[in-house]
Structure formats: C-alpha cells, structure tokens
Amino acid sequence: MNWTVLGIWLGALLSLSLYSFLYRDNPFYKFAEHLFVGMSAGYWVIYTIKNVLIPNWWDNLVPAEGGMQPIWLIPGFLGLFMILRVVPKLSGLSRMSLSLIVGTGAGLSMTAMLQTNALAQVNGTIIALGQGGGWFDWVSNIIIVTGVVCGLVYFFFSKAHTGIVGRTANVGITILMVAFGASFGYTVMARISLLIGQTQFMLFEWLPTMGIHL
C-alpha cells in the first residue's frame, strides 16, 4: 500500500467516524473530533509563529542588520500577558492586552464599517423608484425601499406597535424573516456542497482502492 492509498483510507475512516455521530455519540466520533481539533490547533500555532510572530515581531526586535530594538519588547510582553491567562494568579495581566486589542480594533474598524456597511446601505436604499430598464427593476426598487422602511419601523420602540405602526412593523418582521431564511439557506447550501464533495471522495476515490468501481 503506497502513501496515496494510505492517505485515502485515513481520510475515509475519519470521515466515517465523524458521520457515525448521526447514529449516536461513540468513541470513534470522539477520537476523530479530538484529532481534528488538536491538529487544527497545532497547525495554527505553527502558522502563527512562522507567518505572524517571526516576521512582524522577532525580525523587528532583532533586525538582520544587527542591534536590538528595545521598543519591540512592549508588544512581546503584551503577547506574553495573553498567554498568562492559563495561570489563574496572573490571568489579570491579560486584561491589559485585551483592552488594547479591543480598543484598537474598534477604532480601526469603525471607519471601515461605517463606509462599507452603514453608508453603503444608506446609499443603496436612496434610489429612484423608476430607476432601471423594466418592470422587474421597478418592483425590486419598491421592495428594497419598503423593506428598509418597515424594518426600521420594527426597531422603533419609542411608539407602541399598534395601528399603522404595528402593521408596518409586521411587514418589517416578514422582510427580516425572509432575509434570515435566505441567509440560513445559503449556509445550508454551502454545507451540502461539502457533503457532496466528501461523498464523491468516498465513492470515486476510496471504493476503487477496494476494487469497487461505480
């Protein structure tokens, strides 16, 4: 048995072990689950050290031209504080690092989120109802504007949802449910695509190793 066939068999057996959870929880599923989590964690640790830590911190701390840059000790200590979360008595030090990460991340992403989400969404809804080349574009524009207005009314809690406000809010709920359903359907479709790919692997790569051809 060559290495290619061995890899196919390992992939097939681990896949079957994971799918065995459909029957009930069992040791085969737990083994495959723990193996997957452990290998993923190990891979990302090595990836982070090689592609993030060394080029972005170590190479700046100790540059190739020689001489240490002491300023780069600060992010090193902050990173060490994050690791100290596993030590109960010293876990409080990680709050310094977390506060810097959250604060800096929020500040840097605020402008980008405002431009890409908020302003783009507002700009996308300020459209002429007659814009477009046919009846389909006209109906689409009506649906977009109606959905945005009704959705905003649903989240307007300063006035009781009764009368015309309540009916508008109900339309907003319907629009939101349609949007959530479409998003969930897209997620399910992506998972089904993964299932199809794994099934093709089992049928057209694993079974032929046993002399079974479909």
Asked, for residue 23, whether it belongs to a domain, the answer is yes
Asked, for residue 55, whether it belongs to a domain, the answer is yes
Question: 138 and 88, same structural domain?
Answer: no
pLDDT of residue 42: 96
**Which residues span the domain enclosing 170?**
129-214
Question: 133 and 122, same structural domain?
Answer: no
Question: 142 and 106, same structural domain?
Answer: no
pLDDT of residue 28: 94
Contacts of residue 1, defined as CB under 8 A and 6 or more positions apart, other chains included, come to: 9
pLDDT of residue 133: 66
pLDDT of residue 30: 95
Question: 214 and 135, same structural domain?
Answer: yes
Asked, for residue 75, whether it belongs to a domain, the answer is no
pTM for the full model?
A: 0.64
pLDDT of residue 159: 84
Question: 159 and 146, same structural domain?
Answer: yes
Q: How many domains does the chain have?
A: 3
Question: 182 and 135, same structural domain?
Answer: yes
pLDDT digits (tens, 9 = 90+) for 114-159: 887 778 778 777 777 666 667 788 888 888 888 888 998 999 888 8
The Cα–Cα gap between 159 and 63 comes to 62
Asked, for residue 76, whether it belongs to a domain, the answer is no
Contacts of residue 32, defined as CB under 8 A and 6 or more positions apart, other chains included, come to: 14, 17, 18
pLDDT of residue 65: 81
Asked, for residue 1, whether it belongs to a domain, the answer is no
Which stretches of the chain score pLDDT less than 50? none
The Cα–Cα gap between 198 and 8 comes to 12
Asked, for residue 206, whether it belongs to a domain, the answer is yes
Asked, for residue 30, whether it belongs to a domain, the answer is yes
Question: 150 and 119, same structural domain?
Answer: no
pLDDT of residue 114: 83
pLDDT of residue 176: 92
State the Cα torsion 173-174-175-176 to the nearest 10°. 50
Question: 45 and 120, same structural domain?
Answer: no
The dihedral through the CA atoms of 77, 78, 81, 82 has a sign that is negative
